[in-house]
A and B are shown apart, each in its own frame.
Chain A
Amino acid sequence: MKWTRKDLLSLADLSAGEINFILETTAEFKGVGQRRMKKVPSLRGKTLVNFFVEASTRTRTSFELAGVRLSADVVNIAATTSSLSKGETLVDTAKNLEALAADLIVLRHSAAGASQFLAERLRAGVINAGDGAHEHPTQGLLDVFTIKERLGRVEGVKVGIVGDIRFSRVARSNIHALTKLGAEVTLIGPPTLVPREFARLGVGISHSLDDVLGDLDVVNLLRIQHERQKAGYFPGTGEYASLFGLNAARAERLKPEALVMHPGPIHRGVELDGAVADGPHSVILDQVTNGLAVRMAVLYLCGSVSGEKEA
């Protein structure tokens, strides 16, 4: 097959074949990071705009480095420096970027669907770097890549996603990618954060980490946001940690080869203890390395196709 999309908006849109295509491309770009010359000329002469209307350091840095490694010219725009704060609409800002001949726009926005909105209106390729509680496709891809790299397969792997599922774009992207590739996914957390409706996505639901922990091949712990506590979704971080935190005692009940994942930034002592984050099960830094390779692959693929539409 060939890759024919100019945009990456969600993993729900993609077929299993397309997801595997990106994962295979990622493996080659990971190899580029091990060469003496870590830069390839694929996007030479192209302009990549990182347009972050919501704060982010690690995702933006990862996309920035990915663009640089592909030889694109990279510009970063943060919400506070853009005219959005002066009342310009999102599409006007983006059309201005396109008038400056941006070939690829990486968008992080608090509104679900913002990337799709831009993608439908611009010739440039649009990469969703997180849109509200909708999706964060490159995070889902890097998580699946890390699982496949470490365990050799995705099909049949038992993955537990723990925490704030309700508001998590990371969870949604992971669920779509994992179920399409045949993993068995269980969502774990308090009923307020793991609503029953998620079962429709073809996943299991558990409100007890202790019940399912020993059966999991992968434990992916999501960041708990303090705003949720204020809104009453759970009583306090101490109680959350005692029920759903992966501490050293719980980690002893993991399968020997089980992986512990976290999209970062970690709240040590809340979602997981420091000893577990730094311990033998942890692949958290692999996720960071793989994130760069995934983003290079996605920019390479979508950048090639968006150039085609202009030609």
Chain B
Amino acid sequence: MSETCSFHVNGHACAHVLPAQTTLLSVLRDELGLSGPKFGCGEGECGACMVLVDGHPQPSCNLPLWAIEGRRVVTLEGLGTSLHPHPLQAAFIAENAGQCGYCLAGIITSAAALLERCPRPSREQILAALDKHLCRCGAHPRIVRAIERAAALTSLETSTP
């Protein structure tokens, strides 16, 4: 049965009349044309589809639309653009932090939430925050380094008068 579901994506209000069991990921990719969040498993097990819902990382591949009624969704595209990159995006490029990159959209999104609540995370906190993400290429060390770099830069900026 279809019903209207209203929510925000990257600051824009949207409303969709779709079956309530439709997943958020399919709306993001198919209806809204976003390509940041990726389909990896459909079971919330790999993190490739991670988005922020009211600031919290959530896999979107098995998140039914009814669960985000009235909520604010942010995807990788909502964090920054090539003209105005999020510090994490700039840091991932600077560290060449990735190989195939299929996991990166989800990982950067989770890392953004981490830095929001914990601007100078320890290595252990970073590893814990990323533990729901799978990376098959073994790019883990540089991903961690990129997050540390972004954290160092942003805290530098905020501490500068």
A and B are partners in one complex rather than unrelated chains: no
